[in-house]
Each structure stands twice: as C-alpha cells, then as structure tokens.
Structure 1
C-alpha cells in the first residue's frame, strides 16, 4: 500500500510540473507575441514608423531648405549665418548673433551652409557705425563695418567672394530702397565706405563675406538714419512680372512658387524698344548677374547666383528655395555696355 501511494505522489508531481511549464509558454526561446510590444511599442516584425523618415527629412532639410537662406529675428539673429547687433526696433543696437545666406561654390550654387554656416554664425559678430556718429538723410557719411569673433577679437583674413571681400546690401524698412556696395578693407577686420541714404528712418544693412578657411556668412543690423522719413508702402506682389529700366525690358518667370521647394527664376532681358533679346550681357562680379531676395519683413534673406555664370543672355537663370510662404521682394542685377542696372520684382509664395 505505501508503495502504491508513493507512485501516485510521483505521478501527480510530474503532472503538476508539466502544467507549470506549459503555463509559462514552454520556457526561454518561446516568448509570447506581446513581448515585442513591451520592448519597443510596436508589434514584433512591424515596419518602423516615423524615426527613419524623420531622420531622412532632417538630413534633406539640412542640405536644402534651411541652408538656402536664413531667418532673422528682431535682434538681428538668424538661421545659419553669423552675427550682427541686437536692435530695439529703432536702430539702437547692441551685440547679437545673426545669419547667413546661400553658399557660393563657383558654379552658381543656390544652396547654403547647413551646420557649417550655423557654427560660423555662433562664432562671429559685426558692428556697424557712422562717422562722425550718426547718419543724416541726403548727406554723405562714412559707414564702417567691424568683423570680430565671439570674444571680440578682429577677424583679419577673408576670402575673395565673387571678386570682393565684402558685399554690403542696404534696404529701407519697406524695401523700396536697395543698394549693393563694396566697402574697402582697411585691415584688422574693418571695412569702410562713404554712402548716403535718401530719407530718414530705419535701414537694414547686410554684410556678406567669407572668413578665411570658413563658410559664407551674412551679418546684419537695423540702423537709424536721421531726417524726414519717406512715405512707407506695404510690400505687395506685382500683378505682372515685367519691368522696364535703363532701356531694358525684363520679364521674370518662376518655375513654381511654393515654399520649401526648389524654384528656377528666369530673367528674360530684352531691348525696351525693339523687343529683341540682349545676348551680350557682360559679367558683373564674375557672373552674368546676381539676385538678392528678402521677405517682406526682411527676416528671410537669400543671395543667389546664376546656374550658368558664363551665360550672356538674353535669359539668366537662378535656382533657390523660398523657406516660408509670404511676399518676397527680389532685385536682379546685370551689366550691359558697361552700365549696371537693377530690376526689382515682388512675388507671392504659397
């Protein structure tokens, strides 16, 4: 009898052990399907959402959209360029950090600096000053630009960029006034030029340059000019993209007008009287032309060069990307028979 009871006990113990193994899913190596959800939040073997696509989108964005130009905030701090001065909206300045523009690779590039330009922005600053201390409308004044690093030490070496060490762009608050000039280098990071302003008010000055061994950068600042202010106009898109200036009829066409997408700008330059295309445009700063683009609020700045710098007309093409929707004003600059002419257009980007 005791022997029979022992056999029953052994049999029941074996059955109990088998039941426990079954309940646990057969041991290691046979985890249930729900384990995949606990590990990564998605079913095991399912395609990975978002993560891979976001990484691609950011890489593409860094190489394209953001680097085409830069965004400028109220202090003169912008996207992927360098520094300027902090302003209070009235031209009063302090130091701030600023932006950059499109990259110039000698092939008419319209792209920009990406991470390199952003790093450049963080290590540079600029100051803009007038002698004897202020600028007055209608009077010649000496404008000085000082380029320094983040510690205030002068940046003394610069690369020649489209035949110049420094390009200076000046626009009025309503973008009705535009000037592109080239200060002389005086050494020790300082540039200077005599210039004038047509009316009192606020003007935005953009200093466009390439530090030795660095990437292209643009520093900007709002400055105040004394004198009677001119009548301000709201920047609106042109109804027709045909302008006549300096005896030239210039028609602009865009391959598209959507923010974040590459667009080709085509300037068709004709004689205003005969309507014949002008095929003997002369190089201006080493290229068939240059185009500067600003958003209506002057917070988006693009400086683009032609896709074919050796073109001679009648068509000159430029490629860029408008970073945001809104109204943009652009100035195309070309040279013919020794005369430089500037043609403005305003377009709306969706």
Structure 2
C-alpha cells in the first residue's frame, strides 16, 4: 500500500477528528478552536501511544501530520500546496461538475500524485451540521484540473477535504469552504448512537473514545439478522472510517487494522479500527463498507471522555473565505 459549496442564510459548526491507517492517528487543538485560516498556531494536545502503525489520512503519514501545529483539513494551503475550487455555483439537489486544482510551491497545478488506496486523490465533502457526507473520487486532466459530479442535498455551508500525496512530497489534507445557495435552517448534532441502519444492513459500534489514548473501535456488520462474513475490499480495505469532531473543522481519516489478503484479516462481520482522539467532545463517525458490489455509509455519534454526545445547536457565523479560480462518483449519506 503506497504512502499517502451566496446563501440566504446558513450556519457553521463542523468538526475535527482523529485517524489512522492500519492503526492510530491523531488530531490536535481544543474543541471550539476557530478555523486556522484565522489562527495559524495550534498546539498538540496528545502524544501518540504505542500501537499499530499511525497514519493521518490515506496512506502512512501520521508522522507528517503530527509535526504540524494545525490538524489536517483546517488549512486551504500548507507546505506550499493550495486547494483552489474553480466551481463557485452549486445548486441544492442538482448534480454539479465540481472542479478544482491543487497548486504547488511553483504556483502551477500539480499533475503528479502518489496512488494511495487505489486513488491519486480522495475528496470528502461534509455539511457543517454533519448531516451530509460525500466521499467521491475526481478524475484529473493532464493539466491538473480535477472534476467530479457532485450532488449536495440542500442549501448551506459545506467543507471539502482533498486527501492526497504529491509525488516526492508529504501527504496532505487540505480543506476549503463551499456554499450552496438558499435558505438554511440549522440542525442539531445527531443524537448519540451505537447502531446504524442503511439499506437493510445494521452496523453496531463497540468501544470508547478516550482522549489522549489509542482507542479500539469494533464495527460489526449484519444483514437480516445474520453476520456479514463476505465484505468486499473497497479501496484496498474492508472499511474506511472518517471521524469529525463537532464544532471544529479538522479532519483525519481512519483505516482498519489489517487488510484484505494479509492472511489474518477476516472479511467481516467485524472491522477493527484504532484511533486516538485529542480531547473530550462530541464526534461524528462515518463508516464506508462494500457488500454485494455496492458501497454504503453508516454513521454514528459518540462522546469522548466524560462528555456524552448530546444534540447541540450549531452556532451561526460566516464561513472563512477560501481561494477560488476567480460527480458524484462515490457514495453518500
């Protein structure tokens, strides 16, 4: 495995989190920390614990992430690389050809990327109330312009995360704000739950999120009351977990312990993840898994530490502007 959306009214409030490919990763910064476009300095709150190999996104780059003061996804630009959305008009519920570039230190679009988990770039788009989730995979033209058919369900503010590793450079997760025009009513964070249902499947989550410690999370997939033991590999794994901390914009990606074909990892019903969260708070988790040729997403809300997850109103504010150049090919929740 190689290393690797003006509004009538809307609100902000999203989330930040932890991650680890084949193990434990970490995010930093206290709950409620403003977006780093306005606050460049954030301090590390947790030290990685011993355990499986750490990673802060697709591929094995938690070490690079840990060196930064700011968690992945909070910056539109980092290490000379900048995420540049080229599409500035997105209508709710309508497929949009969403286009963007990633420019490098020479201010030119990057065209060479490492392949990580079967793709050169992974794009995740989440609404700031954490009710909508998209994980898609754009296609790139030779001149470095990425595009994907993207359908966002309603008006509001969204955050896009580009997860990639430029050839010869460190793996990065860059984030940019997107806006979908129209009236938007703030939604409370989904209630805490350890069971999710999607398309006839039931996914249960076992384990606790303990700030500053590597946490084992076990997700079990069943259908019609029977354990699913023939999960199919998707992007090189039996499951992919994205976790977002409420009220924050940091992002990291979690991958399971083990991989298909390693001689020890079973194809279900259990998918095991190791993750380290940096602080007490509310978290949203999105699990992608594939069965019968289709990728599905199960979602959960958990509280970390001594703070149980509860529905909370999303604060209203104006999103931080992000640079702009003036397809949905995946699955969604």
Counterpart Cα distance in 1 of 2:209 and 2:275: 11
Kindly tell me the number of residue pairs found equivalent between the two proteins: 257
Deviations 1:6-52 (A, max 9, x none): xxxxxxxxxxxxxxxxxxxxxxxxxxxxxxxxxxxxxxxxxxxxxxx
Tell me: higher relative CO, structure 1 or 2? Use CA pairs within 8 A at least 6 residues apart.
2
What's 1:270 paired with?
222
Task: Give the deviation of 1:152 after TM superposition.
Answer: 1.7
**Rg: which structure is higher?**
1
Distance of 2:81 and 2:217 partners within structure 1: 32
SS of the aligned residue for 2:79 comes to helix
1:283 aligns with 2:240: no
Partner of 1:183: 138
Shift of 1:224: 1.2
Task: Name 1:204's counterpart in structure 2.
Answer: 159
**TM-score, normalisation: structure 2:** 0.70
Give the corresponding residue for 1:69: 27
Mapping of residues 2-17 of structure 1, within 5 Å: none
Q: Matched residues in 1 for 2:24 and 2:231: separation?
A: 32
Change in Cα spacing, 1:305 to 1:102, as seen in structure 2 (3 Å) is same
Structure 1 match to 2:46: none
Contact 2:34 2:248 in 1 (8 A): no
Q: Distance in 2 between matches of 1:302 and 1:222?
A: 17
State the TM-score, normalizing by the size of structure 1.
0.67
Q: 1:116 to 1:348 in 2, by over 3 A?
A: closer
C-alpha displacement at 1:73, in angstroms?
4.3
Higher share of residues assigned helix: 1
Could you say which residue in structure 2 is the equivalent of 1:174?
A: 129
Give deviations 1:34-86, integer Å, cap 9, x for gaps.
xxxxxxxxxxxxxxxxxxxxxxxxxxxxxxx9962365842557789xxxxxx
SS at match of 1:114: helix
Task: Tell me the secondary structure at the aligned position of residue 113 of structure 1.
Answer: helix
Contact 2:58 2:164 (8 Å CA) reproduced: no
Q: Aligned pair 1:338/2:293, yes or no?
A: yes
Answer yes or no: is 1:235 the counterpart of 2:193. no
Residue number in structure 2 paired with 1:155: 110
Residue in 2 that maps onto 1:252 = 205
Paired residues of 1:236 and 1:327 also in contact (CA < 8 A) = no
1:117–1:216 contact (8 Å) kept in structure 2? no
Q: 1:103 deviation in Å?
A: 5.8
* Contact kept? 2:281, 2:304, Cα under 8 Å: yes
Distance change >3 Å, CA 276–CA 314, structure 1 → 2: same
- Given that residues 173 and 202 in structure 1 are in contact (C-alpha distance below 8 angstroms), is that contact kept between their aligned partners in structure 2? yes
